[in-house]
Amino acid sequence: MNTKKQLFIPKMGCGTWAWGNRLLWGYDESMDHELQEVFELCVSNGVTLFDTGDSYGTGKLNGRSEMLLGKFTSKYVGANQENICLATKLAPYPWRLTRKAMVKAGLASAQRFGKNIDLVQMHWSTGNYFPLQEWQLLDGLGDLYEQGLVKAVGLSNYGPKRLRKVHQRFRDRGITIATLQVQYSLLSTYPVTELGLKEVCDELGIQLIAYSPLALGLLTGKYSVKDNLPPGLRGWVCKQILPGARSLLDCLAAVAKSREKTMAQVAINWCISKGTIPIPGAKNPEQAKQNIGAIAWQLDSGEIAELDKAAVKVKKPMVQNIFQTT
């Protein structure tokens, strides 16, 4: 059965990735109303893919991101309601060793959503350090699909070699891999330019999803080496990358000015022009509006070529996810 025909995959997603990794650290229930406003603003403007993970939110906030999305979905009534696609990623925790454990994890996520999962994804591959576990958990994803508990199956942080092996295993069961998400942006072109993932995905009929399309905010133009640096690890990353990315940021700013768009909107649109679905985070309505402004227009071939050339010249690109396989 072809899952891609059953699953509505919009041309752009609005990711809840930011909710899980950052916003929930200082989360309190007073934020719910603003987050719901973000959700409704996105859906009403045709941005209907929401991506999260069962590892987003720990301790007292365990699964909170999924619960919020489920609550917002159940309350929303309006345009594009039928096209909402809730996607989650199930983490291959060390204690998840069997296919039954993965089915149990999927059922728990569905319970938090308050509905069956539209797209369930393996959060990362354990092929480099525990391949036996990986096959068990992937089989569990297949079981979720065959039991009608999810509409489609996807992967995250897989390279072409591993992807082909997993694709074959799923094909043997008559299951289509619908999506693959990887870290991809103007500061992180490695998965496409060096691993050739887009070509492989096109060959296998898999939709490529780009997470962190704004490179932790470095492509928005709001950070400077001298001042306005974010705290913690992100600030350290800025100091490492910004000096060697000046020509790219200048090019991005020039295109944004000529288009009367923001740098962030151009960076997101560039991802779309490459045939990917970008999933930028949105913590408040203003950020959501910024993201929405990246759609309904297209960079031309000359602008894309200039941005591509500038990206190649970056001296120190973003560090790849440690779980990204080849």
CA distance linking residue 322 with residue 70, whole number of Å: 30
Backbone dihedral angles phi then psi of residue 251, each to the nearest 5 degrees? -65, -45
Q: Is 56 a catalytic residue?
A: yes
The H or E element spanning position 177 is strand 177-183
Active-site residue, selected from the candidate residues 56, 158, 184, 211:
56
Is there a contact between 117 and 88 (Cβ–Cβ < 8 Å)? yes
Which residue carries 């060697």 as its tokens? 244
Strands (E) in 72-186, as ranges, are: 85-90, 117-122, 150-156, 177-183
Instruction: Copy the structure tokens of residue 103.
Output: 């089915």
Which residue carries 């994804």 as its tokens? 121
How many Cα neighbours within 13 Å face the side chain of 62? 5
Residue 158, SS3?
A: coil
Q: Which of 207, 218, 230 is nearest to 278 (CA)?
A: 207
Residues with active-site annotation: 56
